[in-house]
Amino acid sequence: MTRALVAGGGIVGLTTALALRRVGLDVTVVEQAPEIRSTGTSLGLWRNALAVFSDLGIADRIRAVGRPASMYFHDAAGRLLETPEHGPADHDYFLANRPLLNDVLADAVGRAHIRLSTRVAAYTETADSVTVHFSDGSADTFDLLVGADGLHSAVRTHLIPSAMPRPHPGHHTWRGLLPPGAADVTGAAMTVGHHRCRGGYARTHDGGAYWLVSQLGSPTPTAGAKSEALTRAEHLNDNGWNDQLLTVIAATPDDQVLHNPITIVPPLPRWTSHRVALAGDAAHAMSPHITAGASLGIQDAAALSHHLAAHPDMPQALAAYESDRIPHYARVRTLSDAVEHYRTPAEFAHRYAAFTHWMINST
C-alpha cells in the first residue's frame, strides 16, 4: 500500500488525509501542536468546499458545526450593494466554527492516524521515496509527503527555499467570537465602508456572535487590538446603522480579540517534486478579503486525490496536480487582485461576487 505522510493537522491537512485515504493510500498526519486546534474563530466555507466534504461522506457532521449564511455587502450608510448579475447561489455560504470543524475532521481521519507534538523538520528524497526527519530526531520513509503545514511551511521552505512569506502591506484584520447569550445578535451584516475598511457580524450556529473588521492600506496599529477594531468599525457606521457591530466588539473581552497583520505566500514556480506536494496555505496563503483560502485549500485535497487515482505513477500524478493548480491559482490571483483594488464599495461587491461565482463553479 502507498504510504503518505501529511505534514499539518489544519483544515487542509486533515481533509487531504481523508481524500488520500479514499483513493487507497495509507495516511498518517503529523501536527506540531500538542492538540488539533485552530487559530481563528469562525470560517466561511463556500459550495465548492462543501461539495468536497459531501464526496468524502462527512457533510452531515460538518453541517452540525455551523449554519448556512449569505454574503451581501452594505455601504457605510446601510444601503444594500446589489449585484443583480448574481443570484442567491453566489452569495450563500456556510459559517463554521473553526475549532469544532477541525475536531470533526480529526475524528473522521481517526485520532490513531494523527501524531501530535510532531514537527516535520526536513526531508530527503530519492526517485522512489521520501524520508521525513522529525524534530524529535526520528525519521520515517514514505512514498509521498504532502506539505499542508500552513503559511510558514517547513516543506515549502525545503522544496523552494526562495519562496518566503511576505507581509501584505497595510492589511490588518481583527476578529472575535462571543458565546451564546453574550450579545443579542439575530442576523448578519457585512459592510464596505470608508478608508478601505470592511467588516461585520453574524449570529453563529449556537446563538453566539462572530465579528470581523479589516482594513486595507491601514496605518500601523498602535493601540490595543480591541481599541483598534473599534476605531475601524467607526468607518462602517454612518448614521448609527451598524451600532450592533460596535456593541459586539465592545462585548468581547480584550484578550480574546484576535489581530492579524496579513501575510501572504507569493506565487510559486512549482508545487511538487517527484515525491512531495504542497496544499493549502503552504502553497497559496493569500489575502483573506475574498474569504476563500480554506475553501480553495479543501479543493487542493480533492485535486490531489483525483490525480493520484488517475495516474498510478507518483511523479506523473504530482506533475498533473501541479499543472492543474498553478494556472488555477493564477486565475484566483487575478480575480482577487481585482477585488482588492476596488474604487467604490459597489465595485467591491460586484467583483467579490464575480470571484465567488467563478470559484464555486470551478474545481
Ligand X SMILES: Cc1cc2nc3c(=O)[nH]c(=O)nc-3n(C[C@H](O)[C@H](O)[C@H](O)COP(=O)(O)OP(=O)(O)OC[C@H]3O[C@@H](n4cnc5c(N)ncnc54)[C@H](O)[C@@H]3O)c2cc1C
The strand order across the sheet containing 114-115 reads: 114-115, 26-30, 3-7, 144-147, 276-278
Q: What is the DSSP string of 240-255?
A: GTTHHHHHHHHTS-GG
Nearer to ligand X, 184 or 206 (CB): 206
Q: Of 53-82, which residues contact ligand X (CB under 6 A)?
A: none
Interface segment toward ligand X; rule CB under 6 A; list 38-46, 59-67, 195-203, 223-231: 38-46
Does 90 bind ligand X (CB under 6 A)? Our answer is no
Does 157 bind ligand X (CB under 6 A)? Our answer is no
Q: What is the largest CA-CA distance in the chain?
A: 65
Nearer to ligand X, 7 or 76 (CB): 7
Does 43 bind ligand X (CB under 6 A)? Our answer is yes
Contact between 8 and 297 (Cβ < 8 Å): no
| C-alpha count within 13 angstroms, C-beta hemisphere, residue 83 | 23
Query: Which residue in the set 17, 21, 25, 44 belongs to the binding site for ligand X (CB under 6 A)?
Result: 44
Query: Which residue in the set 30, 209, 216, 245 belongs to the binding site for ligand X (CB under 6 A)?
Result: 30
- Identity of the amino acid at 120: V
Does 13 bind ligand X (CB under 6 A)? Our answer is yes
What's the min distance (Å) between Cβ of 312 and ligand X? 27
Does 148 bind ligand X (CB under 6 A)? Our answer is yes
Three-class secondary structure assignment of 137-156: CCEEEECEEEECCCCCCHHH
Contact between 17 and 29 (Cβ < 8 Å): yes
| C-alpha count within 13 angstroms, C-beta hemisphere, residue 356 | 27
Does 154 bind ligand X (CB under 6 A)? Our answer is yes
Query: Which residue in the set 199, 200, 280, 345 belongs to the binding site for ligand X (CB under 6 A)?
Result: 280
Q: Which residues bind ligand X (CB under 6 A)?
A: 7-13, 30-33, 40, 43-44, 119-120, 148-151, 154, 173, 175, 260, 280-281, 288, 291-295, 297
